[in-house]
């Protein structure tokens, strides 16, 4: 039951992030009695049934949101694997109906990477924006952002952390190299010399590491990314980090168990050092949560001490700041555009528009 309680806690963040109505989420969660594969009231089956019903009605985007939660936190059994496949199929159906979104596959040395894209154009390459979630987030969760981000003038590629979803790359201390390889494949289709990364949580760690080597990465926007202490502080690890986080990392890294996992993470190659970070030339926007139960506060302090171009935003919240999603998204987009305006003054106008929208929403007492 402890694991099921954790699943429900963190699923609420992902449900809200996808735009699911909180009352519906609460009703579905209340109907989940166990996490036994195949059980009628199990985690995967309750969410899968809801997804199947919506898919049958042609509500493909809503169906994908439910399938995404059914496979949470990762496809460990046939019912979660079913959810993974059907989430991809539902987004594929949705994007074909609306147009303007393509599915791409990139055969990279470590394995095939799949993505949803918009705005890739060899005739007029746009600045590139790569979007990735963390260790439990699939690209299907972020696909609905594609039209909005493309309207801001970017060529957008939404993909996944290595080992997550349809990203066949292994997850390890050298996984950051896949970002450089991806940019190599996108060169010509987008202006990769002007690359921004919206890389959330553990993807933010990957983005920071890649930017040390790859100067095409000009901007990084992240939320609750581990930097150093998460990988090395054993007391924090044992007392604070939730079991579901450890469970997923065991699965992604192939560690034998949680003890072996920490031994690997605290070894060479994972924690970023001050000398490494001091070489980062990218502008970094970092959202931290004051009550983050996964990422220790010292990680953002390390960034503050080492980076030349850092914008910090703090919310009084838990990991991912689920109670502040609207404000957080507005801040991330405005910060991205502010950073871009240094290279392209046209981006400044879009930043002003976002600021006005945020102010008007606050006056009405709502979040954008």
Instruction: Please state, in angstroms and rounded to a whole number, the distance separating the CA atoms of residues 337 and 285.
Output: 11
For residues 111 and 200, what is the distance between their CA atoms, to the nearest angstrom? Answer: 22
Q: Is the pLDDT assigned to residue 222 strictly greater than 60?
A: yes
Q: What is the spatial distance between Cα 305 and Cα 289, in angstroms, rounded to a whole number?
A: 18
Query: What was the pLDDT predicted at 1?
Result: 59
Confidence check: pLDDT of 352 > 60: no
Average the pLDDT over 239-258 and give the result.
95
pLDDT of residue 22: 87
Would you place residue 346 in the very low, low, confident or very high pLDDT band (cuts 50, 70, 90)?
low
State whether the Cα torsion 124-125-127-132 is positive or negative. Answer: positive
Which of 83, 331, 59, 342 has the alpha carbon at shortest distance from 219? 342
207 and 140 in contact (C-beta within 8 Å)? Answer: no
Structure tokens at 98: 């609306």
Please give the pLDDT value at position 10.
83
Read off the pLDDT of each residue in 272-288 and give the average, rounded to a whole number: 97
Whether the predicted pLDDT of 231 surpasses 50 = yes
Question: pLDDT per residue over 33-88, tens digit each?
Answer: 999 999 999 999 999 999 999 999 999 999 999 999 999 999 999 999 999 999 99
Q: What is the mean pLDDT of residues 332-340?
A: 94
The predicted structure's pLDDT at residue 14: 83
Residue 50 confidence (pLDDT)? 97
DSSP state of 164: S
Q: Which of 2-16, 192-206, 221-235, 299-313 has the lowest mean pLDDT?
A: 2-16
Instruction: Return mean pLDDT, the chain.
Output: 92
Phi, psi of 223 (to 5 degrees): -135, 120
Please name every residue paired with 366 in a beta bridge, in sequence order, or none if there are none.
none
The Cα-based distances of 216 to 18, 74, 133, 181, 325 in angstroms read: 30, 32, 20, 12, 29
Whether the Cβ atoms of residue 127 and residue 180 lie closer than 8 Å to each other: no
Burial of 1 (0-12, 13-18, 19+ CB in 10 A): exposed
pLDDT band at 342 (very low <50, low <70, confident <90, very high): confident
Is 50 exceeded by the pLDDT of residue 364? no
Q: Provide the percentage of residues in the chain whose pLDDT is more than 70.
A: 92
Helix (H) / strand (E) containing 337: helix 325-341
- Beta-strand ranges (E) seen in the chain are 102-108, 111-118, 127-132, 155-159, 191-199, 217-223, 283-289, 310-315
Does the pLDDT at position 244 exceed 80? yes
Strand partners, 198: 131, 221
| Rounded percentage of the chain residues whose pLDDT exceeds 90 | 82
Work out the pLDDT band at 228, boundaries 50, 70, 90. very high
For 142-155, how does the pLDDT look when each residue is reduced to its tens digit (9 = 90+)?
A: 999 999 999 999 99
What pLDDT, on a 0 to 100 scale, did the predictor assign at position 13?
A: 79
For the stretch 336-353, what's the b/e string if a residue is b when 16 or more beta carbons lie within 10 angstroms of its beta carbon? bbbbbbeeeeebeebbee
Residues pairing with 130 in the sheet: 157, 197
Copy the structure tokens of residue 100: 């303007």
CA dihedral 166, 174, 210, 257 (to 10 degrees): 70
Q: How confident is residue 345, by pLDDT bands cut at 50, 70 and 90?
A: low
Mean pLDDT to the nearest integer, 270-294 = 96
Per residue in 254-266, pLDDT tens? 999 999 999 999 9
Q: Residues of 232-248 as b/e, b for ≥16 C-beta within 10 angstroms?
A: bbeebbeeebeebbbbb
């Amino acid at each position: 039951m402890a694991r099921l309680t954790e699943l429900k806690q963190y699923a609420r963040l992902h449900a809200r992030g996808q735009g699911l109505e909180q009352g519906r989420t609460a009703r579905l969660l209340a109907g989940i009695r166990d996490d036994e594969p195949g059980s009628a009231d199990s985690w995967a089956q309750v969410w899968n049934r809801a997804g199947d019903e919506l898919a049958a009605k042609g509500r493909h985007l809503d169906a994908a949101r439910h399938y995404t939660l059914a496979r949470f936190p990762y496809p460990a059994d046939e019912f979660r694997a079913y959810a993974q496949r059907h989430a991809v199929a539902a987004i594929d159906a949705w994007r074909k109906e609306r147009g303007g979104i393509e599915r791409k596959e990139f055969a990279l040395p470590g394995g095939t990477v799949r993505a949803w894209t918009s705005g890739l154009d060899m005739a007029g390459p746009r600045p590139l924006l790569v979007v990735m979630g963390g260790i439990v987030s699939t690209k299907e969760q972020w696909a609905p952002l594609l039209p909005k981000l493309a309207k801001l003038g970017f060529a957008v590629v939404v993909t996944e952390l290595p080992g997550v979803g349809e990203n066949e790359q292994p997850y390890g201390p050298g996984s950051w190299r896949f970002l450089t390889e991806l940019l190599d494949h996108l060169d010509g289709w987008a202006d990769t010399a002007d690359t921004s990364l919206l890389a959330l949580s553990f993807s933010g760690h990957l983005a920071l590491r890649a930017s040390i080597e790859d100067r095409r990465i000009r901007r990084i926007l992240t939320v609750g990314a581990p930097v150093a202490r998460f990988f090395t502080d054993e007391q924090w690890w044992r007392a604070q980090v939730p079991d579901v986080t450890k469970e997923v990392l065991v699965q992604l890294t192939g560690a034998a168990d949680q003890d072996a996992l920490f031994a690997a993470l605290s070894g060479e190659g994972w924690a970023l050092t001050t000398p490494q970070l001091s070489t980062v030339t990218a502008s970094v926007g970092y959202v931290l949560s004051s009550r983050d139960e996964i990422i220790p506060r010292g990680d953002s302090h390390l960034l503050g001490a080492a980076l030349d171009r850092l914008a910090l935003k703090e919310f009084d919240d838990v990991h991912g700041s689920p109670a502040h999603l609207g404000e957080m998204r507005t801040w991330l987009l405005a910060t991205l555009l502010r950073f871009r305006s240094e290279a392209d003054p046209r981006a400044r106008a879009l930043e002003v528009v976002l600021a006005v929208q945020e102010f008007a929403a606050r006056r009405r007492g709502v979040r954008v």
